[in-house]
Structure 1
Amino acid sequence: MTLLRVTNLSKSFDGVKAVDDVSFDLAAGQLLALIGPNGAGKSTCFNMVNGQLKPSSGSIRLDGVELVGRRPREIWRMGVGRTFQIAATFNSMTVIENVQMALVSRERRLFGLWKPSASWHADEAMALLEQVGMAEHAGRACGVLAYGDVKRVELAIALANRPKLLLMDEPTAGMAPGERNELMALTRRLVTGRKIGVLFTEHSMDVVFAHADKLIVLARGRLIAEGDAQTVRNDARVQEVYLGTGRSFTPRAALEDGVTL
């Protein structure tokens, strides 16, 4: 079932088209990678889906409901979660408090906090931390965590809103190869069962080809290729403008069998 449908999406800045007539679909439970070289229009496209930028033209529909013209906060409340290239957590707060704040926000109670903070959705927050493997760090400040662990906390925060669609902006940036694939494997396990669609940008091609169900490739604002990993990897235009030649990538099956990159 189609969850997200982007149709003829365009965005211009001072007459320069950063995104030019881009269309794609994302199904519930699917991981869709949006890739391309620097300046391809990935971030612009990504930020239009999130409501941070307004398209010059085109349509973005979530479960058939138009998102264009809505504010990011409204889009978040409609079931669109997001993680960021630089993890966005409150460093001085504990791990569980970060997740609790997301849960309180979901319930629209930010301006009516009268209970002690330790009681705010504590059980649900701990359940989310268990799912991302961070329960044992619940009482630690986020500011002292290793970066890979902060990324796991950010994933729990994003899931706290019970999203239909999760936008992940370079989710493995700054992580070691082993950590990158662990995080994306964890993401797949968590979103597949919930039927959450994932749209993510990523510069690590090993991660993309190992974990994406489908890829779309942009170059100079236009969609030049789409399909599964094999289709995109063998596309001559992709090889020319982005991947180069002569490089091999480890498929998901090999990673599941324990092969390291």
Structure 2
Amino acid sequence: MDKTEPPLLQVTGLSRAFGGVQAVDQVGFDLAAGEMLALIGPNGAGKSTTFNMVGGQLRPDAGQVLLGGVNTTGLPPRAIWRHGVGRTFQIAETFASLTVLENVQMALLSADRRIYRFWRPAGLHRPADALALLEQVGMQAQADRPCSALAYGDVKRVELAMALAHGPRLLLMDEPTAGMAPAERQALMALTRQIARERRMGVLFTEHSMDVVFGQADRVLVLVRGRLLAEGTPEQIQADARVQEAYLGAGFDVGAAA
């Protein structure tokens, strides 16, 4: 990460209310190219609302989102995707009946703005590029297996390859390790961290597993009741008395959270 460069993502004054409830109130932060930034907080803190405003699923009441200096505030998800934003979901979204390779080829079809036609198999589209993406996430050897036959941790790797198909500058990961065993989730996020460095791709992720947050994030943002309570390195956040009181609890131990 080169801190002398302008931030890849700049969020300022982001706010959103639902009825009389202020879910997010004047939240702002930056994200650098190649940086892993975790967004954490207790239930109801505004994490999902903030995340979805950046990704276009929700329109903010106020504030601004700049990606590479381009204003993407309020654009629909498809338009934001075209600006170079990828996304993975809490529940992995793959085509269970297709092979691992065909899933990535479907993502490449979308990236190329090609229409998938049932009489022209997706397997004909850029197989070498799809295999290269699978190699990057450690799934090339399982390219011919149907996604329905994979372990859940491997499905998440396929989803990651699909998210990378259009070469995003920013990757949004919503609870990426939900439902995974500790070793699997550390491996997935360590892989994501490596890819982010290699591609200079920024990663913003929400996560409840504190071992992942403090083991893989470069910086951490803590939301409480819709407002930004603290931000800093994992070490700074763990030592912050306000964060301990509002979320982590006194004497929090990362190892115990694994």
Q: Name the TM tier (shorter chain).
A: over 0.9
Give the TM-score normalised by the residue count of structure 1: 0.94
Query: How far does the alpha carbon of each residue in 1:202-244 deviate from its partner, in whole angstroms, 9 at most, with x for none?
Result: 0000110011000000000000000101111111110011001
1:200 matches 2:202? no
List runs of 5+ in structure 2 lacking aligned partners: none
Given residue 189 of structure 1, which amino acid in structure 2 is its aligned partner? Q
Given residue 78 of structure 1, which amino acid in structure 2 is its aligned partner? H
1:15 matches 2:20? yes
Mapping for residues 223-242 of structure 1, pairs under 5 Å: 223-242=228-247
Match of 1:37 in 2: 42
Given residue 184 of structure 1, which amino acid in structure 2 is its aligned partner? M
Shift of 1:117: 2.7
Match of 2:75 in 1: 70
The answer (yes or no) to whether the contact 2:175–2:205 under 8 Å persists in 1 is yes
**Secondary structure in structure 2 of the residue aligned to 1:245:** coil
Q: Distance in 1 between matches of 2:62 and 2:9?
A: 17
Shift of 1:111: 5.6
Q: How many residues of Structure 1 are paired with residues of Structure 2 in the alignment? A: 251
Given residue 53 of structure 1, which amino acid in structure 2 is its aligned partner? L
Q: Distance in 1 between matches of 2:74 and 2:133?
A: 32
Match of 1:98 in 2: 103
Q: Find the partner of 1:246 among 241, 246, 251.
A: 251
Q: Distance in 2 between matches of 1:27 and 1:216?
A: 14
Given residue 205 of structure 1, which amino acid in structure 2 is its aligned partner? M
Match of 1:126 in 2: 131
Match of 2:215 in 1: 210
Match of 1:158 in 2: 163
Q: Find the partner of 1:109 among 102, 114, 119.
A: 114
Shift of 1:115: 4.5
Given residue 55 of structure 2, which amino acid in structure 1 is its aligned partner? N
Q: Find the partner of 1:179 among 178, 184, 206.
A: 184
**Secondary structure in structure 2 of the residue aligned to 1:21:** strand
CA 1:169–1:199: 2 relative to 1, 3 Å: same
Q: Distance in 2 between matches of 1:152 and 1:111?
A: 23
Query: How far does the alpha carbon of each residue in 1:175-201 deviate from its partner, in whole angstroms, 9 at most, with x for none?
Result: 101111101111111111100000000
Q: Distance in 2 between matches of 1:83 and 1:64?
A: 23
**Secondary structure in structure 1 of the residue aligned to 2:131:** helix
Q: Distance in 2 between matches of 1:130 and 1:81?
A: 19
Q: Find the partner of 2:52 among 36, 47, 52.
A: 47
1:167 matches 2:172? yes
Q: Distance in 1 between matches of 2:89 and 2:17?
A: 24
Q: Distance in 1 between matches of 2:115 and 2:233?
A: 42
**Secondary structure in structure 2 of the residue aligned to 1:226:** strand
List runs of 5+ in structure 1 lacking aligned partners: 251-260
Shift of 1:65: 0.6
Q: Percent identity?
A: 64
Tell me the C-alpha RMSD between the 2 structures: 1.2
Q: Distance in 2 between matches of 1:105 and 1:114?
A: 17
**Secondary structure in structure 1 of the residue aligned to 2:254:** coil
Given residue 29 of structure 1, which amino acid in structure 2 is its aligned partner? G
Query: How far does the alpha carbon of each residue in 1:91-116 deviate from its partner, in whole angstroms, 9 at most, with x for none?
Result: 11111111001001011011678744
Match of 1:255 in 2: none
Query: How far does the alpha carbon of each residue in 1:28-85 deviate from its partner, in whole angstroms, 9 at most, with x for none?
Result: 0000000000000000000000000000000000001111121100100110000000
